[in-house]
Amino acid sequence: MAHSLPYWRLSGLYFFYFSALGALLPFWSLYLQSLGLTPQAIGSLMALLMLTKLIGPNIWGWLADHGAKRLSLIQLGGGFTVLAFTGVFINSGYWWLMGVMLLFGFFWNAILPLLEAMTFSHLGKDNHRYSQLRVWGSIGFIISVVCAGYFFQHYVIDWLPWIIWLLLLGLWGSTLVIVDVPKWEHAEVKLSLWNVLKQKPVIALLTVCFINQVSHGVYYTFYSIYLQDAGYSLELIGKLWALGVIAEVLIFVMMHRLQVRFELRHLFILSIGLAAIRWLFIGHYVDSLMLLMAAQLLHAASFGLYHATAIQYVHHYFTGRLQGRGQALYSSISFGAGGGVGAYLSGHLWERIGATATYGLAALMCAVAVWVAWRYVR
């Protein structure tokens, strides 16, 4: 790893970003439910938050690739994220929250792709050690979700927006002390974005990422509600979320060794296949704590292994001036479009066909993704 790598500053950014996510992702749907919103409304709000990744990251990524200072964009994104989220304290009506989530998501979702591109620029040829930085995001998520789960077991969930706001403030503060690479070189052979996107392996990669994240929509939107309805305490729900991310941490720590021993393509396909098994466990065995724990351990594959391999593919195909937009496209197509479609569909299917069938459809989506990846991803 390069001696000039600002390891702890980059790690701090990941830590606060995912600490905020650790409070938002598991508990925001429960907060919305406490406001009296229906499953369809909750699904729509969560979908909107994810769908903002279709616009925000691509606009900011384009600016970064066309001369705007990447670090300045990250700092602006952090500041406006805090400002936008302040809107949740003004009104709790559905349409007001739609507007707040739209504005908040536009800035919030722009930060991570720029951070990922900056991290890979710092790492240079040591890009296989990316997971050693990213692991601090997972640690932040674990601490946040466990503490929040314990807190909400004793206090009302009305405090959630304040907790998220303070963590976002910490994120913004961490952007103010980070440094970018001294000079961002573009000496490589220049390729247009279209020349990369029209390659069959790239089309297949982004398609698989989209389908895989559609399958995650029901998990990110209704997992906590599902467990609470089954009689689990908020403290235990928080610990189950944390267990999944602990497993993710282990994968990130081991990833540079796995990449040396196994083909990237095989790891990528394995991660999606194990995601299908995870959704079946959750959908069919909500009454078994042991099997729910086993399902959460599979988060090591369904997110940790998947993300670590997918982002390596993105870094391989989108080089030089295309780095920022490559990371933005990966984020917007998978976590944005895929996650948004998944959240929206789960909101409409949850009451109509039930939790078990909805998770079954998620597993089916993974099976489709495995087939596409096996045939076309190289």
**3-state secondary structure (DSSP) of residue 370:** helix
How many other C-beta atoms lie within 10 A of the C-beta of residue 159? 13
Are 60 and 81 contacting, i.e. CB atoms less than 8 angstroms apart? no
The b/e string for 42-64 (b: 16+ C-beta within 10 A; e otherwise) is: bbbbbbbbbbbbbbbbbebbebb
Could you write out the DSSP letters of every residue in 149-204? HHHHHHS-GGGHHHHHHHHHHHHHHHHTS----S-----SPP--HHHHHTSHHHHH
d(CA 378, CA 374) in angstroms, rounded, equals 9
The whole-number pLDDT of residue 31 equals 96
Q: Which residue has the tokens 């601090």?
A: 136
Burial of 109: CB neighbours in 10 Å, binned 0-12, 13-18, 19+: buried
CA–CA gap between residue 23 and residue 144 (Å, rounded): 6
Structure tokens at 368: 């489709």
Q: With the C-alpha atoms ordered 82, 100, 234, 343, is the resulting torsion angle positive or negative?
A: negative
Tell me the per-residue pLDDT of 9-33, one tens digit each, with 9 for 90 and over: 899 999 999 999 999 999 999 999 9
Nearest to 111 by CA among 157, 175, 48, 40: 175
Alpha-carbon span 294 to 298, nearest angstrom: 7
Question: 185: exposed, middle or buried (C-beta count within 10 Å: 0-12, 13-18, 19+)?
Answer: exposed
Question: Residue 192 has what pLDDT?
Answer: 80
Q: Distance from CA of residue 364 to its chain's centroid?
A: 21
pLDDT of residue 187: 47
Query: What does each of the 378 residues of the chain score in pLDDT, given as a tens digit?
Result: 444 778 888 999 999 999 999 999 999 999 999 999 999 999 999 999 888 888 888 888 778 777 778 889 999 999 999 999 999 999 999 999 999 999 999 999 888 888 888 888 888 777 767 878 888 998 999 999 999 999 998 999 999 999 999 999 999 999 999 887 665 454 455 668 888 899 999 999 999 999 999 999 999 999 999 999 999 999 999 999 999 999 988 998 888 888 889 999 999 999 999 999 999 999 999 999 999 999 999 999 999 999 999 988 998 898 777 877 887 889 889 988 999 999 999 999 998 999 999 999 999 999 999 999 999 998
Task: Please tell me the pTM assigned to this model.
Answer: 0.86
How far is 302 from 23, CA to CA, in rounded Å? 20
**Of the candidates 256, 139, 225, 210, the residue with the CA atom closest to the CA atom of residue 369:** 210
* Letter string b/e over residues 248-263, b meaning 16 or more CB atoms within 10 A of that residue's CB: bbebbeebbebbeeee
DSSP letter string over 78-100? HHHHHHHHGGGGT---HHHHHHH
Give residue 174's Cα distance to chain centre: 19
Question: Measured at the alpha carbon of residue 141, what is the angle toward residues 174 and 114, in degrees to the nearest 5?
Answer: 45
Distance between CA 281 and CA 246 in Å, rounded? Answer: 19
Domains of the chain: 7-179+188-376 (1.20.1250.20)
138: its two tokens: 């997972």
261 contact partners, CB below 8 Å, separation of at least 6: none
